[in-house]
Amino acid sequence: VAEVSVNLGVNSYTIHIGSGIIASIGQLMCKMELTNKVLIVSDDNVSKLYGDYVVNLLSQAGFTVELFSVAPGEDSKSMRVAMELYTRAIEMGLDRSSSIVALGGGVVGDLAGFVAATYLRGLSFVQIPTTLLAQVDSSVGGKVAVNHELGKNLIGAFYQPRLVVIDIDMLNTLPDRELYAGLSETIKYGIIADQTLFNYFIDNHQQILVKEPVVLTEIIRRCCEIKAQVVERDERESCVRMMLNFGHTIAHAIEASTGFSLYNHGEAVAIGMYGAALLSYQLGLCKKNVVDDISMIIEKFKLPLFAPECKVDTLLPYLERDKKTVGGKTKWVLVSSVGQVKINSDVPENIIRHILEQVTHKQKA
Ligand code: NAD
Ligand code: GLY
Protein backbone atom coordinates (compact mmCIF):
# COMPACT_ATOMS: atom_id res chain seq x y z
CA VAL A 1 0.00 0.00 0.00
CA ALA A 2 1.24 3.48 -0.86
CA GLU A 3 -0.04 6.95 -0.03
CA VAL A 4 0.51 10.24 -1.84
CA SER A 5 -0.50 13.58 -0.33
CA VAL A 6 -1.77 16.40 -2.47
CA ASN A 7 -1.07 19.54 -0.47
CA LEU A 8 -3.46 22.30 -1.44
CA GLY A 9 -4.21 24.00 1.90
CA VAL A 10 -7.83 23.42 2.92
CA ASN A 11 -8.34 21.40 -0.26
CA SER A 12 -5.59 18.86 0.55
CA TYR A 13 -6.27 15.14 0.20
CA THR A 14 -4.62 11.74 0.18
CA ILE A 15 -4.38 9.22 -2.65
CA HIS A 16 -4.38 5.62 -1.38
CA ILE A 17 -2.88 3.04 -3.74
CA GLY A 18 -2.75 -0.73 -3.37
CA SER A 19 -3.96 -4.19 -4.24
CA GLY A 20 -7.44 -4.88 -2.82
CA ILE A 21 -7.56 -1.47 -1.12
CA ILE A 22 -11.14 -0.85 -2.22
CA ALA A 23 -12.23 -3.07 0.69
CA SER A 24 -11.34 -0.15 3.00
CA ILE A 25 -13.43 2.46 1.16
CA GLY A 26 -16.03 2.58 3.97
CA GLN A 27 -13.44 3.14 6.71
CA LEU A 28 -11.53 5.67 4.61
CA MET A 29 -14.68 7.71 3.97
CA CYS A 30 -15.75 7.54 7.63
CA LYS A 31 -12.28 8.67 8.69
CA MET A 32 -12.72 11.74 6.49
CA GLU A 33 -15.99 12.34 8.36
CA LEU A 34 -17.95 11.69 5.18
CA THR A 35 -21.20 10.20 6.43
CA ASN A 36 -24.84 10.42 5.33
CA LYS A 37 -25.92 9.69 1.76
CA VAL A 38 -23.74 8.65 -1.17
CA LEU A 39 -24.49 8.72 -4.87
CA ILE A 40 -22.10 6.44 -6.76
CA VAL A 41 -21.67 7.34 -10.42
CA SER A 42 -20.33 4.61 -12.70
CA ASP A 43 -20.67 3.34 -16.25
CA ASP A 44 -22.37 0.14 -17.37
CA ASN A 45 -19.12 -1.80 -17.89
CA VAL A 46 -17.66 -0.90 -14.52
CA SER A 47 -20.89 -1.11 -12.52
CA LYS A 48 -21.46 -4.66 -13.80
CA LEU A 49 -18.03 -5.63 -12.47
CA TYR A 50 -17.76 -3.63 -9.26
CA GLY A 51 -21.04 -1.74 -8.65
CA ASP A 52 -22.72 -4.14 -6.21
CA TYR A 53 -19.47 -4.75 -4.35
CA VAL A 54 -18.85 -1.04 -3.71
CA VAL A 55 -22.53 -0.41 -2.84
CA ASN A 56 -22.33 -3.22 -0.26
CA LEU A 57 -19.07 -1.97 1.20
CA LEU A 58 -20.54 1.49 1.74
CA SER A 59 -23.89 0.21 3.01
CA GLN A 60 -22.08 -1.97 5.55
CA ALA A 61 -20.14 1.12 6.66
CA GLY A 62 -23.47 2.82 7.43
CA PHE A 63 -24.03 4.98 4.34
CA THR A 64 -27.31 5.30 2.45
CA VAL A 65 -26.19 4.46 -1.07
CA GLU A 66 -27.55 4.67 -4.61
CA LEU A 67 -25.77 3.76 -7.82
CA PHE A 68 -26.30 5.66 -11.05
CA SER A 69 -24.80 3.98 -14.11
CA VAL A 70 -24.30 5.84 -17.39
CA ALA A 71 -23.58 4.45 -20.87
CA PRO A 72 -19.83 3.86 -21.34
CA GLY A 73 -18.02 6.35 -23.56
CA GLU A 74 -17.30 10.01 -24.08
CA ASP A 75 -20.91 10.87 -25.01
CA SER A 76 -21.90 10.50 -21.37
CA LYS A 77 -19.67 13.44 -20.44
CA SER A 78 -22.50 15.83 -21.34
CA MET A 79 -24.83 18.41 -19.79
CA ARG A 80 -27.71 16.06 -20.65
CA VAL A 81 -26.34 13.26 -18.47
CA ALA A 82 -25.24 15.76 -15.78
CA MET A 83 -28.86 16.96 -15.66
CA GLU A 84 -30.07 13.38 -15.11
CA LEU A 85 -27.62 13.11 -12.22
CA TYR A 86 -28.86 16.38 -10.66
CA THR A 87 -32.40 15.01 -10.87
CA ARG A 88 -31.39 11.78 -9.13
CA ALA A 89 -29.46 13.78 -6.50
CA ILE A 90 -32.53 15.93 -5.75
CA GLU A 91 -34.82 12.89 -5.68
CA MET A 92 -32.63 11.06 -3.19
CA GLY A 93 -32.29 14.20 -1.08
CA LEU A 94 -28.52 14.67 -1.30
CA ASP A 95 -27.50 17.62 0.85
CA ARG A 96 -24.22 19.42 1.48
CA SER A 97 -23.13 16.72 3.91
CA SER A 98 -23.61 13.98 1.29
CA SER A 99 -20.99 12.66 -1.14
CA ILE A 100 -20.67 11.79 -4.79
CA VAL A 101 -18.35 8.88 -5.58
CA ALA A 102 -16.93 8.33 -9.07
CA LEU A 103 -16.39 4.63 -9.80
CA GLY A 104 -14.91 4.35 -13.28
CA GLY A 105 -12.51 5.81 -15.81
CA GLY A 106 -11.88 9.42 -16.73
CA VAL A 107 -15.30 9.85 -18.32
CA VAL A 108 -17.10 8.97 -15.10
CA GLY A 109 -14.59 10.91 -12.97
CA ASP A 110 -14.92 14.11 -14.99
CA LEU A 111 -18.73 13.86 -15.14
CA ALA A 112 -19.29 12.95 -11.48
CA GLY A 113 -16.76 15.59 -10.40
CA PHE A 114 -18.56 18.23 -12.44
CA VAL A 115 -21.87 17.33 -10.79
CA ALA A 116 -20.20 17.28 -7.33
CA ALA A 117 -18.71 20.73 -7.98
CA THR A 118 -21.99 22.30 -9.05
CA TYR A 119 -24.86 20.53 -7.25
CA LEU A 120 -25.74 22.75 -4.23
CA ARG A 121 -22.54 24.70 -5.06
CA GLY A 122 -20.41 21.71 -4.20
CA LEU A 123 -20.46 18.59 -2.05
CA SER A 124 -17.83 16.04 -1.10
CA PHE A 125 -16.34 14.16 -4.00
CA VAL A 126 -14.49 10.81 -3.87
CA GLN A 127 -12.63 9.24 -6.77
CA ILE A 128 -12.29 5.47 -7.29
CA PRO A 129 -10.50 5.46 -10.66
CA THR A 130 -10.66 2.13 -12.50
CA THR A 131 -8.58 2.75 -15.65
CA LEU A 132 -4.82 3.27 -15.54
CA LEU A 133 -5.31 6.65 -17.24
CA ALA A 134 -7.73 7.76 -14.54
CA GLN A 135 -5.46 6.40 -11.79
CA VAL A 136 -2.39 8.36 -12.91
CA ASP A 137 -4.02 11.41 -14.44
CA SER A 138 -7.69 12.34 -14.41
CA SER A 139 -8.51 11.44 -10.78
CA VAL A 140 -5.71 13.64 -9.46
CA GLY A 141 -5.57 17.42 -9.70
CA GLY A 142 -9.19 18.50 -9.68
CA LYS A 143 -10.02 19.16 -13.32
CA VAL A 144 -13.67 18.20 -13.82
CA ALA A 145 -15.72 18.84 -16.93
CA VAL A 146 -18.38 17.91 -19.42
CA ASN A 147 -18.12 18.35 -23.17
CA HIS A 148 -19.96 20.81 -25.40
CA GLU A 149 -20.88 19.77 -28.92
CA LEU A 150 -18.36 22.35 -30.16
CA GLY A 151 -15.48 20.96 -28.12
CA LYS A 152 -14.20 18.66 -25.39
CA ASN A 153 -14.04 19.68 -21.71
CA LEU A 154 -15.31 23.20 -22.44
CA ILE A 155 -17.61 23.39 -19.41
CA GLY A 156 -15.92 22.59 -16.13
CA ALA A 157 -14.26 23.58 -12.91
CA PHE A 158 -11.25 23.03 -10.73
CA TYR A 159 -12.71 20.95 -7.92
CA GLN A 160 -10.53 18.71 -5.78
CA PRO A 161 -11.73 15.35 -4.44
CA ARG A 162 -11.65 14.69 -0.67
CA LEU A 163 -10.16 11.25 -1.22
CA VAL A 164 -8.77 9.10 -4.06
CA VAL A 165 -8.71 5.29 -3.70
CA ILE A 166 -6.74 3.42 -6.36
CA ASP A 167 -7.16 -0.35 -6.32
CA ILE A 168 -4.71 -1.80 -8.82
CA ASP A 169 -6.62 -5.13 -8.86
CA MET A 170 -9.36 -3.36 -10.80
CA LEU A 171 -6.94 -3.14 -13.72
CA ASN A 172 -7.17 -6.92 -14.12
CA THR A 173 -10.46 -6.52 -16.00
CA LEU A 174 -9.30 -3.55 -18.08
CA PRO A 175 -8.99 -4.29 -21.83
CA ASP A 176 -5.34 -4.28 -22.98
CA ARG A 177 -5.85 -1.35 -25.31
CA GLU A 178 -7.03 0.79 -22.36
CA LEU A 179 -4.02 -0.36 -20.31
CA TYR A 180 -1.62 0.75 -23.06
CA ALA A 181 -3.46 4.07 -23.30
CA GLY A 182 -2.81 4.65 -19.61
CA LEU A 183 0.84 3.65 -20.04
CA SER A 184 1.21 6.47 -22.54
CA GLU A 185 0.43 9.01 -19.80
CA THR A 186 2.84 7.25 -17.40
CA ILE A 187 5.65 7.51 -19.96
CA LYS A 188 4.81 11.21 -20.21
CA TYR A 189 5.57 11.70 -16.50
CA GLY A 190 8.99 10.12 -16.96
CA ILE A 191 9.77 12.40 -19.90
CA ILE A 192 8.61 15.62 -18.25
CA ALA A 193 9.93 15.11 -14.75
CA ASP A 194 11.83 11.95 -13.88
CA GLN A 195 14.60 10.17 -15.73
CA THR A 196 14.74 7.50 -13.00
CA LEU A 197 11.07 6.67 -13.63
CA PHE A 198 11.76 6.57 -17.37
CA ASN A 199 14.59 4.08 -16.82
CA TYR A 200 12.34 2.06 -14.49
CA PHE A 201 9.91 1.67 -17.41
CA ILE A 202 12.69 0.38 -19.64
CA ASP A 203 13.98 -2.06 -17.00
CA ASN A 204 10.51 -3.31 -15.97
CA HIS A 205 8.48 -3.13 -19.15
CA GLN A 206 7.67 -6.87 -19.16
CA GLN A 207 6.41 -6.78 -15.56
CA ILE A 208 4.35 -3.69 -16.35
CA LEU A 209 2.69 -5.33 -19.35
CA VAL A 210 1.65 -8.33 -17.19
CA LYS A 211 0.44 -5.95 -14.43
CA GLU A 212 2.86 -7.19 -11.77
CA PRO A 213 1.33 -5.63 -8.59
CA VAL A 214 4.49 -4.29 -6.91
CA VAL A 215 5.76 -2.69 -10.10
CA LEU A 216 2.35 -1.30 -10.98
CA THR A 217 1.88 0.20 -7.50
CA GLU A 218 5.29 1.82 -7.77
CA ILE A 219 4.67 3.46 -11.15
CA ILE A 220 1.20 4.66 -10.16
CA ARG A 221 2.57 6.05 -6.89
CA ARG A 222 5.36 7.91 -8.64
CA CYS A 223 3.09 9.30 -11.39
CA CYS A 224 0.57 10.53 -8.80
CA GLU A 225 3.42 12.09 -6.83
CA ILE A 226 4.69 13.95 -9.89
CA LYS A 227 1.21 15.13 -10.82
CA ALA A 228 0.57 16.21 -7.21
CA GLN A 229 3.79 18.24 -7.16
CA VAL A 230 2.90 19.99 -10.41
CA VAL A 231 -0.67 20.74 -9.27
CA GLU A 232 0.58 21.99 -5.88
CA ARG A 233 2.78 24.54 -7.71
CA ASP A 234 0.14 25.63 -10.20
CA GLU A 235 -3.37 24.36 -9.51
CA ARG A 236 -5.05 26.53 -12.14
CA GLU A 237 -2.62 25.95 -14.99
CA SER A 238 -1.08 29.39 -15.38
CA CYS A 239 2.46 28.06 -15.87
CA VAL A 240 4.09 24.77 -14.79
CA ARG A 241 0.90 22.67 -15.03
CA MET A 242 1.19 23.20 -18.79
CA MET A 243 4.06 20.71 -18.80
CA LEU A 244 1.45 17.97 -18.29
CA ASN A 245 0.37 18.71 -21.85
CA PHE A 246 3.56 17.25 -23.30
CA GLY A 247 2.47 15.39 -26.45
CA HIS A 248 -1.08 16.69 -26.12
CA THR A 249 -0.94 19.46 -28.74
CA ILE A 250 -0.56 17.08 -31.68
CA ALA A 251 -2.68 14.48 -29.83
CA HIS A 252 -5.70 16.79 -29.60
CA ALA A 253 -5.40 17.58 -33.32
CA ILE A 254 -5.23 13.86 -34.19
CA GLU A 255 -8.20 12.99 -31.95
CA ALA A 256 -10.39 15.87 -33.12
CA SER A 257 -9.60 15.49 -36.83
CA THR A 258 -10.43 11.76 -36.72
CA GLY A 259 -13.70 12.24 -34.81
CA PHE A 260 -12.35 10.79 -31.52
CA SER A 261 -12.85 7.28 -32.86
CA LEU A 262 -9.73 6.05 -34.65
CA TYR A 263 -7.21 6.56 -31.83
CA ASN A 264 -7.95 6.63 -28.13
CA HIS A 265 -6.45 9.45 -26.08
CA GLY A 266 -3.36 7.55 -24.95
CA GLU A 267 -2.55 6.41 -28.49
CA ALA A 268 -2.87 9.96 -29.78
CA VAL A 269 -0.65 11.18 -26.91
CA ALA A 270 2.00 8.59 -27.85
CA ILE A 271 2.12 9.93 -31.42
CA GLY A 272 2.06 13.47 -30.03
CA MET A 273 4.99 12.77 -27.70
CA TYR A 274 7.02 11.37 -30.58
CA GLY A 275 6.13 14.49 -32.62
CA ALA A 276 7.10 16.79 -29.74
CA ALA A 277 10.42 14.94 -29.38
CA LEU A 278 11.11 15.27 -33.11
CA LEU A 279 10.26 18.97 -32.91
CA SER A 280 12.59 19.44 -29.94
CA TYR A 281 15.42 17.81 -31.90
CA GLN A 282 14.63 19.84 -35.02
CA LEU A 283 14.85 23.05 -32.95
CA GLY A 284 18.22 21.96 -31.55
CA LEU A 285 16.86 21.59 -28.03
CA CYS A 286 17.71 17.93 -27.51
CA LYS A 287 20.05 15.28 -28.86
CA LYS A 288 18.93 12.56 -31.28
CA ASN A 289 19.24 9.86 -28.58
CA VAL A 290 16.40 11.54 -26.66
CA VAL A 291 14.09 11.03 -29.66
CA ASP A 292 15.32 7.43 -29.99
CA ASP A 293 14.76 6.66 -26.28
CA ILE A 294 11.24 8.11 -26.39
CA SER A 295 10.25 6.23 -29.54
CA MET A 296 11.76 3.01 -28.16
CA ILE A 297 9.69 3.12 -24.95
CA ILE A 298 6.51 4.06 -26.83
CA GLU A 299 6.94 1.00 -29.03
CA LYS A 300 7.77 -1.25 -26.06
CA PHE A 301 4.38 -0.34 -24.58
CA LYS A 302 2.62 -1.31 -27.82
CA LEU A 303 1.67 2.26 -28.66
CA PRO A 304 1.81 3.95 -32.09
CA LEU A 305 4.33 6.52 -33.30
CA PHE A 306 2.50 7.47 -36.50
CA ALA A 307 -0.98 8.48 -37.62
CA PRO A 308 -0.86 7.62 -41.32
CA GLU A 309 -4.61 8.27 -41.72
CA CYS A 310 -4.13 11.97 -40.91
CA LYS A 311 -3.24 14.75 -43.35
CA VAL A 312 -0.99 17.69 -42.46
CA ASP A 313 -3.42 20.29 -43.82
CA THR A 314 -6.27 18.82 -41.79
CA LEU A 315 -4.23 18.74 -38.57
CA LEU A 316 -2.83 22.29 -38.76
CA PRO A 317 -6.09 24.23 -38.08
CA TYR A 318 -6.72 22.07 -35.01
CA LEU A 319 -3.33 23.07 -33.58
CA GLU A 320 -4.31 26.71 -33.81
CA ARG A 321 -7.61 26.02 -32.05
CA ASP A 322 -5.93 24.19 -29.17
CA LYS A 323 -7.04 25.41 -25.72
CA LYS A 324 -3.44 26.13 -24.83
CA THR A 325 -3.11 28.62 -27.69
CA VAL A 326 -2.61 32.14 -26.33
CA GLY A 327 -2.80 35.19 -28.62
CA GLY A 328 -2.88 32.97 -31.72
CA LYS A 329 0.33 31.14 -30.78
CA THR A 330 0.42 27.47 -29.91
CA LYS A 331 2.33 26.76 -26.70
CA TRP A 332 4.56 23.74 -27.33
CA VAL A 333 5.91 21.64 -24.51
CA LEU A 334 9.34 20.52 -25.70
CA VAL A 335 11.92 18.17 -24.23
CA SER A 336 15.57 19.09 -23.66
CA SER A 337 16.52 15.80 -22.01
CA VAL A 338 14.51 12.98 -20.48
CA GLY A 339 13.13 14.51 -17.25
CA GLN A 340 13.34 18.12 -18.47
CA VAL A 341 10.86 20.10 -20.54
CA LYS A 342 10.49 23.69 -21.75
CA ILE A 343 7.58 25.71 -23.11
CA ASN A 344 8.05 27.42 -26.49
CA SER A 345 5.35 29.51 -28.15
CA ASP A 346 7.44 30.64 -31.09
CA VAL A 347 7.77 27.69 -33.44
CA PRO A 348 7.63 28.64 -37.16
CA GLU A 349 4.83 27.02 -39.15
CA ASN A 350 7.15 25.48 -41.71
CA ILE A 351 8.88 23.50 -38.95
CA ILE A 352 5.56 22.34 -37.51
CA ARG A 353 4.50 21.29 -41.00
CA HIS A 354 7.72 19.29 -41.39
CA ILE A 355 7.08 17.48 -38.06
CA LEU A 356 3.48 16.70 -38.98
CA GLU A 357 4.70 15.26 -42.27
CA GLN A 358 6.94 12.90 -40.31
CA VAL A 359 4.27 11.68 -37.88
CA THR A 360 1.72 11.17 -40.64
CA HIS A 361 4.17 9.13 -42.76
CA LYS A 362 4.81 5.68 -41.44
CA GLN A 363 8.57 5.95 -41.58
CA LYS A 364 11.02 6.83 -38.85
CA ALA A 365 12.98 10.07 -39.29
P1 NAD B 1 -13.16 5.81 -20.04
O2 NAD B 1 -13.61 6.39 -18.76
O3 NAD B 1 -14.02 5.99 -21.23
O4 NAD B 1 -12.85 4.25 -19.82
C5 NAD B 1 -12.40 3.47 -20.90
C6 NAD B 1 -13.19 2.19 -21.05
O7 NAD B 1 -12.79 1.27 -20.04
C8 NAD B 1 -14.69 2.35 -20.86
O9 NAD B 1 -15.36 1.54 -21.79
C10 NAD B 1 -14.96 1.83 -19.46
O11 NAD B 1 -16.26 1.33 -19.30
C12 NAD B 1 -13.92 0.75 -19.35
N13 NAD B 1 -13.45 0.45 -17.99
C14 NAD B 1 -13.08 1.33 -17.06
N15 NAD B 1 -12.55 0.70 -16.01
C16 NAD B 1 -12.60 -0.62 -16.27
C17 NAD B 1 -12.19 -1.77 -15.56
N18 NAD B 1 -11.55 -1.70 -14.39
N19 NAD B 1 -12.42 -2.98 -16.14
C20 NAD B 1 -13.02 -3.07 -17.36
N21 NAD B 1 -13.40 -2.00 -18.09
C22 NAD B 1 -13.19 -0.79 -17.54
O23 NAD B 1 -11.72 6.37 -20.48
P24 NAD B 1 -10.44 6.92 -19.72
O25 NAD B 1 -9.32 6.73 -20.66
O26 NAD B 1 -10.32 6.40 -18.33
O27 NAD B 1 -10.75 8.48 -19.55
C28 NAD B 1 -10.85 9.32 -20.66
C29 NAD B 1 -11.50 10.61 -20.21
O30 NAD B 1 -10.70 11.21 -19.20
C31 NAD B 1 -11.67 11.64 -21.31
O32 NAD B 1 -12.96 12.16 -21.26
C33 NAD B 1 -10.64 12.71 -20.94
O34 NAD B 1 -11.04 13.99 -21.36
C35 NAD B 1 -10.61 12.60 -19.45
N36 NAD B 1 -9.37 13.09 -18.82
C37 NAD B 1 -9.48 13.97 -17.82
C38 NAD B 1 -8.34 14.45 -17.19
C39 NAD B 1 -8.47 15.38 -16.01
O40 NAD B 1 -7.45 15.92 -15.57
N41 NAD B 1 -9.65 15.56 -15.50
C42 NAD B 1 -7.08 14.01 -17.60
C43 NAD B 1 -6.99 13.10 -18.64
C44 NAD B 1 -8.15 12.63 -19.25
N1 GLY C 1 -4.42 16.26 -17.64
C2 GLY C 1 -3.83 17.55 -17.57
C3 GLY C 1 -4.00 18.24 -16.26
O4 GLY C 1 -4.51 17.69 -15.33
O5 GLY C 1 -3.61 19.37 -16.16
pLDDT digits (tens, 9 = 90+) for 112-123: 999 999 999 999
pLDDT tens track for 234-274: 999 999 999 999 999 999 999 999 988 999 999 999 999 99
Ligand 1 within 6 A of CB of 46:
yes
Is the overall model pTM greater than 0.85, yes or no?
A: yes
Ligand 2 within 6 A of CB of 141:
yes
Q: What is the pLDDT of residue 322?
A: 67
Per-residue pLDDT, averaged over 67-93, amounts to: 97
- The residue from 45, 252, 264, 324 that is catalytic is 252
Q: What is the pLDDT of residue 326?
A: 66
Ligand 1 within 6 A of CB of 108:
yes
Nearest CA to ligand 2 atom 3: 244
How many other β-carbons are positioned within 10 Å of the β-carbon of residue 47? Answer: 22
Q: What is the pLDDT of residue 325?
A: 64
Q: Is 241 a catalytic residue?
A: yes
Q: Which atom of ligand 2 has the smallest separation from the CA of 143? A: 4
Question: Residue 147's closest CA among 112, 99, 110, 184?
Answer: 110
pLDDT band at 321 (very low <50, low <70, confident <90, very high): confident
Q: What is the pLDDT of residue 134?
A: 98
Per-residue pLDDT, averaged over 203-212, amounts to: 96
Ligand 1 within 6 A of CB of 185:
no
Ligand 2 within 6 A of CB of 185:
no
Ligand 2 mean position to 240 CA, how many Å?
A: 11
Q: What is the pLDDT of residue 150?
A: 84
- The residue from 37, 77, 162, 227 that is catalytic is 227
